[in-house]
Amino acid sequence: MVLTSGYSGASYTERWFVWVDLNQDGDFDDADEQLFTASVSNAASGTLTLPATAMSGQTVMRVAMQWNSSVSACENFSWGEVEDYTINVQ
């Protein structure tokens, strides 16, 4: 996986976070659901490894990017972006 901010002509330190709703209960509150973090001024790259306990089927993956600061899975903030994706766990 490669995450990029898409800024042109400038470089900022961005904090990246990825959560997956592994138990499909509609939230990202469980401790093992944050699967990736990075703090970079260019592209963040890594591999998401789902634990064997992840439920099969469609679930939500949330990706958040915040300028130079940590975020939780559910909060409002300035200077960043949050996107949700549906993934299929097999």
Enclosing domain of residue 83: 2-89
- What per-residue confidence (pLDDT) applies to 62? 96
- Stated as kind and residue range, the H or E segment containing 14 is strand 14-20
Tokens of 20: 């997956």
Instruction: Dump pLDDT digits (tens) for 38-81.
Output: 999 888 999 999 999 999 999 999 999 998 788 888 888 888 88
Tell me the pTM: 0.88
Report the Cα–Cα distance between both ends of the chain, in Å, rounded: 18
Q: What is the DSSP letter of 55?
A: P
* 2/89 Cα distance (integer angstroms): 19
User: How many domains are there within the chain?
Assistant: 1
* 19/34 Cα distance (integer angstroms): 4
Count the alpha carbons within 13 Å of 90 in the hemisphere toward its beta carbon.
1
